[in-house]
Amino acid sequence: MHDVIIIGAGPCGLSAAIECRRQGLSAIIVEKNFIVHSIYLYPTHMQFFSTPELLEIGDVPFTTPNEKPYRHEALVYYRKAAELHGLEIAAYEEATAINRLEDGTFSVKTVNRRGERQTREASSVVISTGYFDQPNWIGIPGEDLPKVTHYFREAHPYTGMEVAIIGGSNSAVDAALELIRVGAMVDMIYRGDSISGNIKPWVRPIFESMVQKEKLRLHLSSRVTEITPDTVVVSSGSQGESYALDNDFVLAMTGFRPDRRLMSSIGVLMDDDMDKPVFDPATMETNIPGVYVAGVIASGRNANEIFIETGRRHGALIAAHAAAKRLTEDKERN
């Protein structure tokens, strides 16, 4: 029996565990993959938008010679932060259900990578499962072909290939620039009339220069309507004129969405407009007493609403509220 079970070992889940321990609460993190799995899935050479100070948790300094840290540095940092704070992490153990018991505590059913099932119990549960496991599917013919991926790791496998990128955000732009460096022929197809206004300011001039030099072909106000083994079909303009592009691979950089199933199973209410869990922003407690949300899972359909630099602060709010509740309950029992 722990005071708190935290589901998800991303930066926000780690921060919540650290803050719980600071409040004298026993906490265990249940993680279906491994620590900061979402960051591991980022492109190999990705550079963060945030400065290292804004990614720090648990007062552990994030030291780097770079103004903006890279993915590999973040992996090292969060491993060290978890180690320094002695966090208890059950890796490769997936939470499959949350149940509220008669005494107001909770049981969390889990299954590990060997298929072994168990039940963990706690006074409170924090759901911090992120969103990187659930890509936004476009829903077009051919999207399930082997040539299509919603994740970009690095450019080397695409050397000399014809690659279509669907999207116009930072992930799409970063992928396009890496692909150009390995000699890929790149078509970027985006439904907007210009690429996203949130592109990293130090990257945008480089990208625009590549477009001007015709190092990549940018198709604005356009969308992919079908993917075949050797082409992508693009619909462009207000008239919906269609044309086919020769193509070897497709990177669908269409974003991701949180998995709400655990929250729904325990009865957490959702805001109808944005599919956002109902919670008190002062404590991060949902409409189910003792169930909290932390990190991007607390956002609506717009996953960019919450970042590491804001979600990492949820843990302190949760820990303070959970500790105060425990103190009140102890007084009532005595």
Please write the tens of the pLDDT for every residue from 273-295.
667 899 999 999 999 999 999 99
How does pLDDT run across 84-120, given as a tens digit for each residue? 999 999 999 999 999 999 988 999 999 999 999 999 9
Higher pLDDT, 296 or 302: 296
Q: Checking DSSP bridges between strand 291-293 and strand 241-246, what pairing results, if any?
A: unpaired
Q: What are residue 252's DSSP bridge partners?
A: 166
| pLDDT at 130 exceeding the cut of 90 | no
| Per-residue pLDDT, 30 | 97
- Tell me how far apart the alpha carbons of residues 209 and 217 are, in angstroms, rounded to a whole number: 12
Residue 331 pLDDT level (bands cut at 50, 70, 90) = confident
DSSP state of 53: G
All domains of the chain in start order, with CATH: 2-133+256-333 (3.50.50.60), 148-252 (3.50.50.60)
For residue 332, pLDDT over 90 is answered with no
What is the mean predicted confidence (pLDDT) over 225-230? Answer: 96
Torsions phi, psi for 270 (to 5 deg): -120, 140
The pair of structure tokens assigned to 228 is 């075949």
pLDDT for residue 145: 97
Which alpha helices (DSSP H) does the chain contain, by range? 11-22, 37-40, 71-84, 170-181, 204-212, 261-266, 308-311, 314-333
Write down the pTM of the prediction: 0.87
- 188, with CB counted inside 10 A (0-12, 13-18, 19+), is buried
Q: Which two tokens stand for residue 108?
A: 């969390």
**Which residues does residue 241 pair with via DSSP β-bridges, in sequence order?**
236
pLDDT on residue 275: 76
Amino acid letter, residue 333: R
Residue linked to tokens 């992919």: 224
Mean model confidence pLDDT for the chain: 92
Q: What average pLDDT does the segment 293-314 reach? A: 81
